[in-house]
Amino acid sequence: MYGAVLFKQAKRPSTVNGEIVLPTMAVNEDLQTLTHKAEGKSKQPQCTQARLPSPAGVTPEVKNTRAPCPRKAGCRKVKMRKPSERAAESKNSNNRKVTDYYPIRRSSRKSKTEIKCEQKKHLDELITKGIENGMTVKHIEGKGRGVFATQSFQKGQYVVEYHGDLLLQPDAKKREALYAQDPATGCYMYYFQYLSKTYCVDATKETDRLGRLINHSKNGNCQTKLHDINGIPHLILVASRDIEEGEELLYDYGDRIFN
């Protein structure tokens, strides 16, 4: 079979001494071609690129023919997140507090409530302990005793308590009737209303408390005020205007407190 094919492909068979001689190169090429076709492994011809010799001392430049990676062209890697994660992060960022960014600092300034509480506590102490500062008793010719300031008082400042026995109105009326029987007994009873009840401070009894000795005047520099301590009303005198040192302390006896 091979011989027949070979004879057909030979162009001009040569003869030596009357015998046909086939060209060796043609026979070898035809045998290789038939063998590859029979085995199904025919190879494709490879194309090689011819390179010119580079001059001495010059390194040939090798160019990268691959396309550049987009991530290496100044782009950063982006991590995809789930919508639930993005929603949770957005919610947390909106609920941030100032204390998440700055440390907590306590203000040294006192609030109005704290200031009022301290003022009341101080006034309670003055009243309960009977502290009476900045006053003295002097004798006034043709008038009797009077109380004078030995210090200045600012408007609204506590001056002194009108101290005496705290009575309800029925008991106070009984005492008042007894005092009326003795013309030498002065009237030191002060009536006022507090929480829908009528009270009276009876300061008739002679004591060392100065509030009972302050004289009457329609143009006084003091006024009466109620101060509650544990539910018990106390009748006090505060400055109705600024009082200078040396002034006599006066208030209107006709002034009555209704609370």
Helix (H, G, I), strand (E, B) or coil at 1: coil
pTM over 0.75: no
Phi/psi at 50 (5° precision): -80, 135
What is the per-residue pLDDT for 171? 96
Q: Is the pLDDT of residue 80 over 70?
A: no
Mean pLDDT of 77-92: 62
Q: How far is CA 223 from CA 69, 78, 162, 181, in A?
A: 93, 79, 11, 30
Indicate the pLDDT class of residue 42, thresholds 50, 70 and 90: very low
Q: In sequence order, what E strands does the chain have?
A: 14-16, 19-21, 135-140, 144-149, 158-161, 165-168, 189-194, 197-202, 215-216, 222-229, 232-239, 250-251
What is the per-residue pLDDT for 142? 87
Q: Where are the domains of the chain?
A: 114-251
Q: Is the pLDDT of residue 28 over 60?
A: no
User: Which helix or strand (DSSP H or E) is residue 30 part of?
Assistant: helix 24-39
What is the per-residue pLDDT for 165? 96
Task: Work out the angle at residue 138's Cα, subtended by the Cα atoms of residues 137 and 144, and round it to the nearest 5 degrees.
Answer: 110
Please tell me the distance from the alpha carbon of residue 236 to that of residue 160, in angstroms, as a whole number: 6
Q: Is the pLDDT of residue 68 over 90?
A: no
What is the per-residue pLDDT for 5? 45
Q: Which of 37-46, 132-141, 231-240 has the lowest mean pLDDT?
A: 37-46
How large a percentage of the chain has pLDDT more than 90?
49
Mean pLDDT of 211-217: 94
CATH of domain 114-251: 2.170.270.10
What is the per-residue pLDDT for 54? 53
Indicate the pLDDT class of residue 8, thresholds 50, 70 and 90: very low
What is the per-residue pLDDT for 208? 93
Q: Is the pLDDT of residue 240 over 70?
A: yes
Please tell me the distance from the alpha carbon of residue 250 to that of residue 142, in angstroms, as a whole number: 17
Question: Is the dihedral angle over the CA atoms 109, 113, 118, 119 positive or is it negative?
Answer: positive
Amino acid symbol at 128: T
What is the per-residue pLDDT for 159? 97
Q: Which of 47-51, 66-70, 110-114, 118-122 has the lowest mean pLDDT?
A: 47-51
Mean pLDDT of 9-29: 52
User: Which helix or strand (DSSP H or E) is residue 257 part of?
Assistant: none
Rounded to 10°, the helix 2-9/24-39 angle is 130
Residue from 12, 33, 34, 37 nearest 22 by CA: 12
Mean pLDDT of 129-136: 95
What is the per-residue pLDDT for 10? 46
> What are the pLDDT digits (tens) for 152-199?
999 999 999 999 999 999 999 999 999 999 888 888 999 999 999 999
